[in-house]
Amino acid sequence: MGFDYTPIILSLKVAVVAVAIVVLTGIPLAGLMARRNFPGKDVLESVFTLPLVLPPSVVGFILLWLFGKNGPLGQFLAHYFHISVVFHLAGAVIAAAVVSFPLMYQSAKASIESVDRTLENAARTLGASELRIFFSVTLPLSWSGIVSGFILSFARSLGEFGATLMVAGNIPGRTQTMPIAIFMANESGDFRTGFILVLIMTIFSFLVVFWLNRWSKKQQRGLMPDEGIE
């Protein structure tokens, strides 16, 4: 009996697109939230972090409501773009992006906040625009947090189960991602498939954590003030 690789491919597809969304939204928002004050900031901050603490079923429920046939976003997408995300891979992407967003956002925000603001001020007096300052000073100096946020959100996207199952369903070959395939293999007693997928997920997750730890240690060493003095 051949082994079905499609859940792995689908999971990778979902994770790549979800992380792209999360990077493009999470980093600019983190930059804004780290440097600006405005009324209602605390509320927004809590909303951004909410998916991290909510049970996946709650996230799934909310997304189903938002993107369902009668939901506000669902109607909007159906009317203007003639697409429906529920029970499609796009639904899995949205679910993955929502649950992994806080990891990117939090990590990026913490490291942007740790960048010395005097450096940004120095760039200002040297004639740099705010956009140039962000890309040439703030981002490079908060790189470590952004990379770890990137990796964590990728891993989280790859492993997303609960909300994905509710929004995208379990359609083999179309929306059945790795975690869902594992669940189904277990339910149906297909130990071999389950075992192989579990092995792949475990090894991958281990490598992510292992590499992240080593990398952050190396970063810390790199920041020691006496490094490289001759």
> Which residues in this chain contact other proteins in the complex, by CB under 8 A?
116, 118-119, 121-129, 136-137, 140-141, 225-230
Q: Output 133 or 185, the one with its CB closest to other proteins.
A: 133
CB of 196 to other proteins, least distance (A): 43
CB of 217 to other proteins, least distance (A): 18
User: Rounded to the nearest 5 degrees, what angle is found at the Cα of 63, between the Cα atoms of 99 and 204?
Assistant: 30
Q: Output 36 or 79, the one with its CB closest to other proteins.
A: 36
Q: Output 1 or 224, the one with its CB closest to other proteins.
A: 224
CB of 122 to other proteins, least distance (A): 4
* Range list of H helices, the chain: 6-35, 41-53, 56-67, 72-81, 89-113, 117-125, 130-133, 139-141, 143-159, 162-168, 178-187, 191-222
Contacts for 152 with CB less than 8 Å, ≥ 6 apart: 100, 103, 104, 107, 208, 212
Q: Assign residue 86 a region (left: φ > 0; alpha: ψ between -120 and 50; beta: otherwise).
A: beta
Pair of tokens at residue 33? 């939230």
Contacts for 154 with CB less than 8 Å, ≥ 6 apart: 15, 19, 100, 208
CB of 35 to other proteins, least distance (A): 14
CB of 220 to other proteins, least distance (A): 14
Q: Output 132 or 192, the one with its CB closest to other proteins.
A: 132
Q: Output 28 or 116, the one with its CB closest to other proteins.
A: 116
